[in-house]
């Protein structure tokens, strides 16, 4: 069983975990657009590939799959998820399974407004959002929402150009200077991260790891502690099955006075996944089982509470 | 030989390197104000201590030195460097050598305006700086400096509240809203980092490691490549001896069209030091020699060029 990790970037831990899990059974190959992506050097073999928007990119990846006899593939960056889903059949034709969700779900994860509409219409607590600022002002007047709010591009990664805004004047100013903005209610509560694996064969939610993010006074968010709440597991399972995700996903959730709000979904391994792995939730093993045609048993919450994770900088050294 | 690292924070690599170097000869102890500082868990032993501004803080540290029979001590955070220098004699009285520079040099490193005046008066290239905005406007009129410039607190750490400013109106606005600001010329060139060890016994510059910082399109600065230039080594040696630094220091330098500009000095192990260590510049060994009463031989540039360093996130797991 050989595995391919696309756009490995700085996600050395994820490549290390795949290598550890596939050690006895096959080869782990990684790609990056740059020779300075440190994670490729953790793999058994690596390729420098064009940028995902370059013409012929997908053919380069399919060629690697054929040459290296790749059984499973996934990407670690958002814009590539839809691309893999789109070409799932071509990968299948060369014997490679794409570990990931459907094209529509990958696209929805990129579009915060579409995600909001879906969550709202399916009855999940979530941050109220507006594309139309006049409708937002009316909601303020009606007492439905209060400042501060976030103003951000409705499409776009993580925290790029997100403004926390305290008044109408600033909302007007931002909307006058940028297109495609949305206004989102500010959720003020305990931030939670969930790492979830949905079996590629059975479609069941087989593993959930949840952690509370710890905010430090200096603004660091790179610490967390594992916890368990059966109610939260139930909510995650219901949401994930209803939406139809597959493979690895990462969910951001807020706990506001005992109510869980779903904030964001990344249908891939998130930056906080090492916490789950180190606590015993080896999702690489679940992927390996699926590639072997074995459906995983449901084993939700298979970890201990009170396991603290703290990030620090490691260095990869390459001589050229 | 036992060593104490204060305010270890997230500097796990520095603690690991001390532990590796002192492994056969003694114990490495680390402190932090928080149990969630991951680096303390790399040491043989650790203490949670009050914040450095708390009354009696220095007595707590002196007690640890006595109890653990500490031979050498240093801190990894700027505000503590002056404090250690100030209490050097008290540490000496309990048998502990402070590895670091004098009080005046530690203070100068915190005060960008004082640093600028020193560099200018000693004839070193550096970014021109103004506390008085009218004098700055005159310099603009006279064609001595052009926008953009940096407006930042003249005292303060790294990149906290630094604005890149393109016009007079914004300079006026920032000065109207904040006190203790300075205006600094924007140096547009290749950024360089230097890790330097000045022997605590001989006062000689015994080791210099220099690297070019690699700016990625996404704005990441956490990659670098080692290089050597005898001219730069000469400049660094002259500057360091003239100023009188001791122990480990980290210097930020710009190469602007072949001219080196000194930008900033941190009289401690900097965040990029792991690159130097991994390339062969083990400054922990130099410290150990000094604690043993042995002056180190001058060995500047004892590393290879073209060694690339790329940072990534490692995790420390603690069960509670």
Q: How is chain B classified by DSSP, letter by letter?
A: --EEEES-TT-HHHHHHHHHHHTTT--EEEEESSTT-GGGGGSSEEEE---TTSTTHHHHHHHHHHHTT-SEEEESSHHHHHHHHHTHHHHHHTT-EE-S--HHHHHHHHBHHHHHHHHHHTT-----EES-HHHHHHHHHTTS--S-EEEEESBS-TTTT-EEE-SHHHHHHHHHH-SSEEEEEPP-SEEEEEEEEE-TTT--EEEEEEEEEE--TTS---EEEEE--HHHHHHHHHHHHHHT--EEEEEEEEEETTEEEEEEEESS--TTHHHHHHTT--HHHHHHHHHTTPPPPP-TT-S-SSEEEEEEEEEEEEE-
Phi-psi region of A192 (alpha: psi -120 to 50; beta: other; left: phi over 0): beta
Distance CA B160, CA A94 (A): 51
Answer yes or no: are the C-beta atoms of B136 and B183 closer than 8 Å.
yes
Contact B312 A279 (CB under 8 A): no
Q: Is the four-CA dihedral B297, B20, B236, B250 of positive or negative sign?
A: negative
Contact A10 B223 (CB under 8 A): no
Give the number of other Cβ atoms within 10 Å of residue A242's Cβ: 12
CB-nearest partner of A309 from B10, B11, B315: B315
pLDDT tens profile A74-120: 999 999 999 999 999 999 999 999 999 999 999 999 999 999 999 99
CA distances from A285 to A10, A211, B129, B259, B261 (A): 22, 21, 57, 54, 52
Contact A315 B278 (CB under 8 A): yes
Average pLDDT score, chain B: 94
Answer yes or no: are the C-beta atoms of B251 and B264 closer than 8 Å.
yes
Nearest CA in chain B to A307: B319
Q: Is A180 helix (H, G, I), strand (E, B) or coil?
A: coil
Give the number of other Cβ atoms within 10 Å of residue B63's Cβ: 14
Domains with residue ranges and CATH for chain B: 2-98 (3.40.50.20), 128-185 (3.30.1490.20), 189-310 (3.30.470.20)
- Is the pLDDT reported for residue B309 higher than 90? yes
ipTM: 0.89
Judging contacts by C-beta atoms under 8 Å, the chain A residues touching residue B304 are 319
Contact A306 B319 (CB under 8 A): yes
* Residue A163's pLDDT band (cuts 50, 70, 90): confident
Answer yes or no: are the C-beta atoms of A182 and A153 closer than 8 Å.
yes
A108 to chain B, closest Cα gap in Å: 24
CB-nearest partner of A307 from B222, B309, B319: B319
* Residue A164's pLDDT band (cuts 50, 70, 90): confident
Q: What is the mean pLDDT of residues A226-233?
A: 98
Q: What is the pLDDT of residue B160?
A: 54
Contact B311 A315 (CB under 8 A): yes
Contact B308 A318 (CB under 8 A): yes
Q: What is the pLDDT of residue B164?
A: 86
Judging contacts by C-beta atoms under 8 Å, the chain B residues touching residue A227 are none
């Amino acid at each position: 069983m050989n595995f391919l990790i696309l756009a490995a970037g700085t996600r050395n831990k994820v490549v290390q975990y795949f290598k550890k899990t596939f050690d006895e059974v096959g080869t782990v190959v990684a790609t990056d657009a740059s020779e300075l992506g440190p994670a490729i050097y953790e793999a058994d073999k690596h390729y420098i590939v064009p940028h995902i928007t370059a013409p012929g990119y997908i053919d380069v990846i399919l060629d690697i799959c054929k040459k290296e006899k790749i059984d499973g593939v996934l990407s670690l960056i958002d814009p590539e998820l839809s691309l893999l889903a789109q070409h799932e059949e071509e990968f299948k034709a060369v014997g490679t399974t794409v570990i990931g969700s459907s094209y529509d779900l990958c696209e929805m994860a990129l579009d915060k407004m579409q995600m909001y509409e879906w969550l709202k219409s399916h009855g999940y607590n979530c941050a109220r959002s507006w594309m139309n600022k006049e409708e937002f002002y009316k909601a303020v007047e009606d007492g439905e929402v209060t400042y501060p709010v976030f103003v951000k591009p409705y499409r776009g990664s993580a925290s790029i150009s997100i403004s926390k805004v305290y008044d109408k004047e600033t909302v007007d100013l931002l909307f006058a200077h940028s297109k495609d903005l949305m206004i989102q209610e500010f959720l003020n509560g305990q931030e939670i991260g969930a790492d979830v694996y949905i079996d590629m064969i059975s479609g069941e939610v087989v593993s959930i790891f949840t952690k509370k993010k710890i905010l430090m006074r200096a603004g660091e968010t790179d610490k967390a502690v594992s916890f368990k709440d059966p109610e939260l597991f139930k909510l995650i399972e219901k949401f994930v099955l209803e939406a139809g995700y597959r493979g690895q996903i990462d969910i951001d959730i807020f706990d506001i006075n005992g109510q869980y709000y779903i904030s964001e979904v990344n249908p891939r391994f998130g930056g906080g996944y090492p916490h789950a792995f180190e606590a015993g939730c080896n999702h690489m093993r679940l992927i390996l089982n699926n590639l072997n045609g074995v459906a995983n048993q449901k084993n939700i919450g298979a970890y201990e509470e009170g396991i603290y994770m703290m990030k620090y900088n490691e260095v990869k050294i390459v001589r050229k």
